[in-house]
Chain A
Amino acid sequence: MSGSKQLVVIGNGMAGVAFVEQLLKHRLRYEITIFGDETHVNYNRILLSSVLAGEKSIEEIELNGLEWYQKNGIRLQLGVRIVKIDPQGKTVEGEDGSRTRFDKLVIATGSSAVVPPIPGCEKDGVSVFRTLDDTRWMMQRAASGVRAIVIGGGLLGLEAARGLQLRGADVTVLHLAAGLMERQLDLTAGAYLRAKIEALGIRVRTSCATKEICGDGRVEAVRLENGELLAADMVVIAAGIRPNAEIAKQAGLAVNRGIIVDDRMRTSHPDIYAVGECVEHDGQTFGLVAPLIEQGKVLASVLAGNAEVAFRTSITATKLKIMGVDVFSAGLTEAKAGCEEVRFEDPALGIYKKLVLKNNRLAGVILAGDASDSHRYMEWLREGTDLTAKRRQLLFPDPAPDHGASIAQMPDSETVCGCMGVTKGAIIAAIHERGICTMSQLKECTRASTGCGSCSHACESLLKAVAPGFEEEGKKTICKCFPFSYDQLRDIARSQQLRSVQQIIEIYGNGQGCEICKPALSYMVDMLWCGEHEEDRSARFINDRVHANIQNDGSFSVVPRIRGGVTSPAELRRIADVAEKYNVRMVKITGSQRIDLLGVKKADLPKIWADLGMPSGQAYTKGVRMVKTCVGTTFCRFGTQDSIAAGVELERRLENLFTPHKLKMAAVGCPRNCAEATVKDIGLVGNEGSWQVVVGGAAGKTVRRADLLVTVETTQQAIEAAELFFQYYRENANYLERTYDFVERVGIEKIRRDTVYAPENVRRAILDRLRKSKAIARDAWLERDEPAHPTQFIQIEPMPQPLPAAAP
């Protein structure tokens, strides 16, 4: 061995490895050995909740890959538990019998979950929530219909409960104290949180003590102190943590609740140090990463010979990581003597904010329902800002136009990533000096956003604003309101039987929704449940609330259905009469072989539809537009197929249905293609004795020749092939994906195998689902007689004003 000194780290977790990363920056000549009793490389423990919730994969939360250890010459001993420290002989002893000498030892053993002395905790089906293996176990067990009980309603317990529930389990949280997260929240905030959690479909019992976990070898139920028995298939205990200080104690080091360290992270032995949740500093133990990362920095600096540094406990903040449930807390939770409280409450919106002030400086903050200002409060807390001048705007800042602007206003010294302690200035410097332009580069280089991840938006805004070559990356979510893609949400909605848009937004999203996800989800629930969904007009674009296309001046256009483009003198007369009666601004032949009445007032829509007596042409929606036809064998000297009859029949079969994007079709009597069938979403191209069914064509923003789906003999077969493709597209495309993109993405070969060449029973099933949807599809214009809401088409007029006496 070289002359380098031996540095041994016990514990391959967040604090230990963060310390080693810092140490490497100082380029000291240490030979480093890390022991870790888990069998994984260092991962982000904080994000186990996100893995459980399905928002992140296990690979995504890895912090240091094996290459990192190799590249930095670190000996990694995975799966080896250190059972003994010999401070005199300066060795550590592994469970495997190995003995390793050290010059300096760093204990970073973290903490363990506390298992309360409840009889039955050893039974199969009971677990704590601390490690990746615990998480894997929970992911395997939790499934639809499984009854899960979580003991403990703190941060960890609630995140566990949510994760289990997202996997389909039926979850109850049992909490000993009167309020949830009582160590970080006051009772009022606890009640707000409880309402939110219950709204997600999780049962909560507070002031509830568990007496026993029952079952014959395996969990069957949980008995409460009051004798009540709750059936359970699995139990997760999240009742707090205890520092892993046992080996230090046995080695004779000073230990109280944790391993006692001084300001320089030194234990009672001069060559043994400790960082992380296993330590106790100044009478305090730790449960959040931010101070632990700070400890690592201090220790690295100490080992580098820096005499000045000292660890100081700073104020830490807790943020619940459940999408849509905003809870934030830092500092004091209750006003003590000499403090005052400032509060805001809006029960209807579920918002509660409380500030504890002392001498006009912030001493504590609790936010429930809206934690968007947490940054500002943390800064006030850390800096001890004098708030005298701000007394009037404590709870309501001047609205920052958006994050981009608020990040611009932020001073360089302000902390962006609280977990890793990275300032705005440090991020900007890294961007300029290292040419960073993606989030992963930023994470790698500065470690910002590798903790709880709540600053990722801020980091991204900074990157966007400062990095010239900013590149967006990461997995595609449906929009900013959800951590899931459209595909994932569809699976969730199907398996969880979610039938309303608002429900999905509240349970799986941010509780608000936006103009992107709402229409997409509206389509999704409609398609999934074939009408057995809860129709929510507020989630639809205005076109789909009033069944007409909105125009640049706020008026609407009316395009009645003219199947196959075939009309009659009587119909034309009626259209003409209507156009005159309602003073329609323009009558126009559209590019889809039908007629458009443009410039109609919203209030006139129902009357016009009634006078026309024609069904909606769905020209305003993501649905079946039209089937264009050519004259075919009926008139044309080259005609080989009756394209008019085929087109009209196809339109009848599919009209009034909705699709991921608009869907246009055409049927032509021969390959001369006069109605442009080869550039439509679905086209029927007639030949002597056969039809070609083509799909995925386009002649809009781009031009794409449709792919041949199948060649068949009869018109019936052609229509059936078209229907198979139509329903397949409805069920499998992403919202707003036209067939030309869908066919390219999936590939025509696969589409053929899954539709026209699929086994008989599969084809039947597809067609059955289509028939089911069709059976309940209605002409939307019938809402002229039965409006979805009394004021659907109405411009409200103020009421006759009440008499002065009755006036408010």
Chain B
Amino acid sequence: MHKKHWIAIGPTTHIPVREGRAVRVGTREIAIFNLGGRFVAIDNQCPHKGGPLCDGIVAGTAVVCPLHGWKIDLAAGNVVKPEVPVCVETFRTRVDENGIVFVERPSRELALEDGEVAA
């Protein structure tokens, strides 16, 4: 059961502190950020015009989209600037004892992997 929920991404060292990296999970692209001892993951698409959030500058616990500067909270996924009631999907992460970062499998992907339909 667990196996399906957590996907191993790679060693923590692959994501420098206060930077993000994109990772492809099935059909989705997820941006994982290293907040210094804490990893957070959100959908890599900016809700404005799809900018790559993984390439943004980290400001505290938010990221600023590199295209037009929308600011998205990394923990809650909500847009902080400008004031628009939009959210980005967030995913849980964990780091195991070997220093490997795991991200929770997106629910949409899970349905596909479960496979009954796809198979």
Contacts and interface: CB of A to CB of B under 8 A. Distances in A.
Contact of A542 (B36, B56, B80): B56
A804 interface: yes
B19 interface: yes
A552 B49 CA distance: 8
B55 A554 contact: yes
B23 A798 contact: yes
Contacts of B24: 795, 797-798
A348 B25 CA distance: 28
B69 A515 contact: yes
B6 A796 contact: no
B15, B35, B56, B102 — most chain A CB neighbours (10 Å): B102
Contacts of A789: 16
Contacts of A807: 2-3, 6
Nearest to B25: A798
B66 interface: yes
A540 to B, nearest CB: 8
A801 B38 CA distance: 22
B66 A538 contact: no
A401 to B, nearest CB: 5
Contacts of B25: 798
A277 B17 CA distance: 48
A226 B80 CA distance: 53
A401 B15 contact: no
Interface string A2-39: 00000000000000000000000000000000000000
A198 B29 CA distance: 40
A550 B59 contact: no
A569 interface: no
Contacts of A763: none
A518 interface: yes
A808 interface: yes
With most chain A CB atoms within 10 A of its CB, the pick from B16, B22, B81, B96 is B16
Given A515-B59, A808-B6, A399 B21 contact: no
Interface in B93-109: 94, 96, 100, 102
Contacts of A538: 16-19, 57-58
B51 interface: yes
B6 A518 contact: no
A795 B22 contact: yes
A550 B53 CA distance: 12
Interface in B1-55: 2-3, 6-10, 13-19, 21-25, 32, 35-38, 49-52, 55
Interface in A540-591: 540-542, 545, 550, 552-554
B73 A791 contact: no
B55 A801 contact: no
Given A349-B38, A807-B6, A799 B52 contact: no
Interface residues of B, number: 52
A790 B38 CA distance: 20
Contacts of B59: 512-515, 518
B102 to A, nearest CB: 7
A79 to B, nearest CB: 48
Contacts of B3: 801-802, 804, 807
A405 interface: yes
B111 interface: no
B112 interface: no
B8 A554 contact: no
Given A807-B3, A808-B96, A796 B9 contact: yes
B74 to A, nearest CB: 12
B18 to A, nearest CB: 4
A542 B66 contact: yes
A515 to B, nearest CB: 4
Contacts of A801: 3, 7-8
A553 B32 CA distance: 20
A545 B38 CA distance: 22
- Indicate the member of A348, A536, A542, A545 with the most B CB atoms within 10 Å: A542
B67 interface: yes
B23 A796 contact: yes
Contacts of B79: 401
Contact of B23 (A349, A541, A554, A797): A797
Contacts of B21: 791, 794-796
Contacts of B2: 807-808
A541 B102 contact: no
A204 to B, nearest CB: 22
A800 B3 CA distance: 12
Contacts of A798: 7-10, 23-25
Majority secondary structure, A binding face: loop
A645 B79 CA distance: 52
A402 interface: yes
Contacts of A550: 52, 55, 66-67
B60 interface: yes
A802 B60 CA distance: 33
Contacts of B94: 808
A348 B14 contact: no
A405 B82 CA distance: 11
B83 A402 contact: yes
A804 B69 CA distance: 42
A539 interface: yes
A104 interface: no
Nearest to B21: A796
A554 B50 contact: yes
Interface in A585-635: none
Nearest to B9: A798
A586 to B, nearest CB: 19
Interface string B70-88: 0101001011110101000
A537 interface: yes
Contact of A514 (B9, B38, B64, B66): B64
A120 interface: no
Interface in A388-444: 399, 401-402, 404-405
Contacts of B37: 348
A404 B8 contact: no
A402 B81 contact: yes
Nearest to A797: B24
A540 B13 CA distance: 19
A514 B57 contact: yes
Contacts of B50: 553-554
B54 to A, nearest CB: 9
B100 A799 contact: yes
A176 to B, nearest CB: 33
A311 B117 CA distance: 73
A793 to B, nearest CB: 11
B57 to A, nearest CB: 4
B92 to A, nearest CB: 12
Contacts of A800: 8
Interface string A503-529: 000000011111100110000000000
Given A512-B59, A550-B66, A807-B3, A799 B16 contact: no
Given A790-B14, A791-B14, A799-B9, A399 B36 contact: no
Contacts of B67: 550, 552, 554
Interface string A190-214: 0000000000000000000000000
A539 B56 CA distance: 10
B83 A405 contact: yes
B14 A796 contact: yes
Given A402-B83, A538-B57, A791-B15, 14 more contacts: A399-B73, A502-B18, A514-B60, A514-B64, A538-B17, A554-B67, A794-B21, A795-B24, A796-B22, A797-B23, A798-B7, A798-B9, A799-B8, A808-B96
Interface of B: 2-3, 6-10, 13-19, 21-25, 32, 35-38, 49-52, 55-61, 64, 66-67, 69, 71, 73, 76, 78-81, 83, 85, 94, 96, 100, 102
Task: Return the 7 tightest CB-CB contacts between A and B, nearest first.
Answer: A512-B60, A538-B18, A348-B37, A542-B55, A515-B64, A514-B59, A554-B52
9 contacts: A402-B81, A512-B61, A515-B56, A515-B57, A538-B18, A550-B66, A798-B7, A798-B24, A808-B2
